[in-house]
Structure 1
Amino acid sequence: MPELAPPTGLVHRSFIAAMEEFRAEGRGGPGDDTTLGATLREYGEKWHDPAVFERYVAEVTAAAEQPPGQLGVPVTTLWYTDGGEYLGRIAIRHTIATRFLREYGGHIGYDVRPTARRRGHATGMLRACLPYAAELGLESVLVTCDTDNTGSRKVIEASGGVFEDERGGKLRYWIQTELPRV
């Protein structure tokens, strides 16, 4: 059964295969200004080396501790895996302290590998990350998607997203977080 987990070298092969799938659909080119696009440009040719991959995993993990500033905000990244298979990732920004994040980026960003789409994984990831966001002190999170991304809009709405408005080609939704009941 798929679950959220911290980034790990245990899914190295599957992760590389997923990144190749993203590349095949055009991600990572010069015009791709997403986190995934930038990461593909920086690491895409180097990930095959296990030492480089381990450094990448360490950098992604350390981003949760970075102070807000010029380089962005603290981000907790979790990978959605099923056994040894990498299915996707979700990033929870601890704050939306920059204008870009407040207007367009939001608290949460996610990607599902192309061969794992349309199976409920994005909805599963988004719902599963809400307790993590609550543990960070976030009572609600801003989640955005492009106006023409019907799949992502449906994922956000199925996860409790309440539409706020549209800004700059982005639909903006707020989702209440909740700590798990004990």
Structure 2
Amino acid sequence: MQRIKLVFPTQEYKDQVLEYRNEFEINGDSMDGTAGLANKKDFDEWLSALVDNSKEETVREGLVQATTYLAIRISDGRLVGMINIRHKLNQYLLNFGGNIGYSIRKSERRQGYAKEMLGLALEKCKEIGIEKALVTCNKTNIGSAKTILSNGGVLENEVPEDGEITQRYWISVK
């Protein structure tokens, strides 16, 4: 049974997105898969960047075309996570970032939302023509590794990055 849906951010979700960012800031968590939400002054600037980066002809310099989705719980409309799908890989993404980055707010973790969200994102990958998706995580992030493995991830290798180890998994998109 599907518990969440992926939706493109709109003004309708402004308050929830800001609340989401605040929860990450309070907990000192990394905001992976949020398309730079932590680095934007305000919601409108972030949303404008998402719209630009979702189209090949307007993607911002140094970035690749990407689509960011909010994971909204169907039962109550609550934002539980975010996921970013990069349509292509540049050298950095190939080595460290992957096609897909995601996050789940701390208050909603360990409930299976990441597994479901990644599964839905893989369906989106198929729609845009990605046949094999690279998904990475820090070696110490056991929960993320389990999420990737549960969606068919196969570990290719581990690479050092800034004193950490990044695990690189490939998932065949069916």
Q: What TM-score, normalized to structure 1?
A: 0.81
- Going from structure 1 to structure 2, the CA distance change for 1:166 and 1:133 (only over 3 Å counts) comes to same
Question: Match for 2:11: what amino acid?
Answer: G
Residue of structure 1 aligned with 2:12, choices 10, 21, 42: 10
With 149-158 and 75-84 compared, the bigger mean Cα shift is at: 75-84
Please give the alpha-carbon distance, in whole angstroms, between the structure 2 residues aligned to 1:37 and 1:139.
22
Alpha-carbon RMSD across the aligned residues, in angstroms, is 2.2
Structure 2 residue aligned with 1:173 = 169
Deviations 1:11-58 (A, max 9, x none): 222222211110012247xxx8x5659422322xx34xxxx3xx5324
Match of 1:71 in 2: 62
Aligned equivalents of 1:142, 1:56: Cα separation in 2: 25
Question: 1:104-158 CA distances to partner (integer Å, 9 max, x unpaired)?
Answer: 1110000111111111111111001111101111111000000111010000001
**2:135/2:171 contact within 8 Å kept:** yes
Unpaired stretches in structure 1, ≥5 consecutive residues: none
Cα contact 1:90–1:110 (8 A) shared by 2: yes
Q: 1:150 aligns with which of 113, 138, 142?
A: 142
1:45-87 Cα distance to aligned partner (Å, 9 max, x none): x34xxxx3xx532431331103578421000111100243111
1:86 to 64, 79, 89: 79
| Residues 63/69 of structure 1: CA separation in 2 closer, same or farther (3 Å cut) | closer
State whether residues 33 and 83 of structure 2, in contact with CA within 8 Å, keep that contact through their aligned partners in structure 1. Answer: no
Find the aligned partners of 1:102 and 1:40 in 2 and give their Cα distance: 23
Equivalent position SS for 2:40: helix
> What SS class does the counterpart of residue 65 from structure 1 fall into?
coil
User: Is the alpha carbon distance of 1:37 and 1:126 closer, same or farther for their aligned partners in structure 2, counting shifts above 3 Å?
Assistant: closer
Residues 1:39 and 2:37 aligned together: yes
Identity of aligned residues (%): 30
Q: What is the CA distance between 1:99 and its match in structure 2?
A: 1.4
Following TM superposition, the consecutive aligned residue runs of length 4 or more in structure 1 with deviations greater than 4 angstroms are 34-38
Task: Give, in whole Å, the separation in 1 of the partners of 2:61 and 2:51.
Answer: 19
Q: Give the counterpart of 1:61 among 41, 51, 63.
A: 51
5+ unaligned residues in a row in structure 2: which ranges?
A: none
Number of residue pairs matched by the alignment: 165
